[in-house]
Structure 1
Amino acid sequence: MTTYIPSLTLPEAIFGSLPGSILLPITLGSAVGYSTRRNNTQTAATNRRESLTLKQPPLRPPASVFPPVWTALYGVMGYAAHRAVYLGTSPLNTTDTILAARQGATLYTIQLGLNLAWMPLFYGLNRPVLATIDAAALVGINSYLAWLWGTKVDEVAGWLLVPYVGWLGFATYLSFGTGYLNNWDLSPIVGGQGKKKST
């Protein structure tokens, strides 16, 4: 159960705009991804070697899969939020529906912040434990959000979040697996020899 907290919720104008709802998570997600990569001072060749040196869990897809999948999921997530909040807060709805839509808007905003924090935690700050906790929290929050919006506001919005929840579950597995297999230390590899930098 959650409550509507205006100070922790994106403005209703964003939810009311279909392009704004879709483009906001895509733009923010792309910016975080770009800035995290940009902060890495190593060469592209070293980055590729480092990726190959890190132990990866089974079923990890190629790195090229992640940008298009996340872009699509961000877009669908934004559309779901638009449907739920815009349709759910209509004055023609019951008080319970409007309240559920607004509570969901707060949860959506919080989960978007947690989503954007994962990449800096995992790659930028070398905190795979915190990143995995973050990913697991995202699964729980978005499962509840899909249920809340799907049963109390707009069934389509709830179903639109299902692929996102599924991918978050997979991302949690990858986050945990990569951290565990590398002893929870993802610090850069020195000289391609598989030795970690001393801290």
Structure 2
Amino acid sequence: MTSYIPQLTLPSSIFTSAPASILLPVALGTAVGFGTGFVSDQKRQYHSLRQPPLRPPSSVFGPVWTLLYGTMGYAAHRAYHLGTSSPSSLLLPTTNPSSTVHHTATLYTLQLGLNLIWMPLFFGLRRPILATLDCAALVGINAYLAWTWGTQIDAVAGWLMVPYVCWLGFATYLSAGSGYLNEWDFSEERIRKGEEEQKRKKKGL
């Protein structure tokens, strides 16, 4: 379990308010996706690089991430609110709910930061190895959060994290697969070659 670090933890006012807890990750994720100037380059890079099987259309990611951000925000709200304001039958007799909640609040905040830097790592800096490691770390952290919240605080909060963990696992596969198929090289030269390859396929060459 990570330590509670106030300087690295979202304010309690965020967690205790359901709307704030839900909207914050949605707003931050949207800001990263649309406010950094990567949007057109994302689509270009996504379609030009070789991708592993089962890759979804680029139009799928926006709605899915919006839903997942909102779901994990609500899960964090439930865990924090129930763990700090009322006893739960799910808590172990030796468990201090307030201590558990504050520790996981720090971990939740850190994972949110890791989530938000994935897109700049993958599309902006074009560092597929770092992006894949980041995504893999997110799987582990959020699996721990789902288990801790679900078994020690609130079962609903734990289950709400499951779709997010599953999607992170799929995202790790896509990130690693794309990196491997492109020899972990997302340079402009590689992207141009991919575009040329796509054009040849459309022409049937």
Q: TM-score, normalised by structure 1?
A: 0.88
**Match for residue 182 of structure 2?**
182
Distance 1:50 1:6 in 2: 38
Distance 1:181 1:160 in 2: 33
Rate the CA distance shift 1:49–1:127 in 2: closer, same or farther, 3 A: closer
Within a 5 Å distance, the mapping from 1:100-179 to structure 2 comes to 100-179=100-179
- Within the alignment, does 1:80 sit opposite 2:75 as a pair? yes
Distance 1:139 1:83 in 2: 21
Distance 1:47 1:130 in 2: 17
> Alignment partner of 1:193: what SS?
helix
Among 25, 44, 56, the residue aligned to 1:61: 56
The answer as to whether partners of 2:4 and 2:103 remain within 8 angstroms in 1 is: yes
Question: Which residues of structure 2 form unaligned runs of 5+?
Answer: 198-205
Rate the CA distance shift 1:13–1:47 in 2: closer, same or farther, 3 A: closer
Corresponding residue pairs, total: 189
Stretch moving more, 171-180 or 91-100 = 91-100
Counterpart code for 1:81: A
| Alpha-carbon distance, 1:187 to partner | 2.2
> Alignment partner of 1:61: what SS?
coil
Identity %: 65
Distance 1:104 1:176 in 2: 28
Rate the CA distance shift 1:79–1:97 in 2: closer, same or farther, 3 A: same
**Match for residue 98 of structure 1?**
98
Distance 1:49 1:25 in 2: 25
Bigger fraction of residues in helix: 2
Distance 1:96 1:81 in 2: 17
Question: Which residues of structure 1 form unaligned runs of 5+?
Answer: 195-199
**Match for residue 25 of structure 2?**
25
Cα deviation code 1:18-59 (max 9, x no counterpart)? 1100000000000001134x146xxx5x87554333100000
Counterpart code for 2:186: L
Distance 2:44 2:163 in 1: 31
Question: What's the C-alpha RMSD, in Å, of the aligned pairs?
Answer: 2.0
| Alpha-carbon distance, 1:90 to partner | 1.2
Rate the CA distance shift 1:128–1:155 in 2: closer, same or farther, 3 A: same
Q: TM-score, normalised by structure 2?
A: 0.86
Rate the CA distance shift 1:48–1:86 in 2: closer, same or farther, 3 A: closer
Within a 5 Å distance, the mapping from 1:3-42 to structure 2 comes to 3-36=3-36, 38-39=37-38
**Match for residue 193 of structure 1?**
196
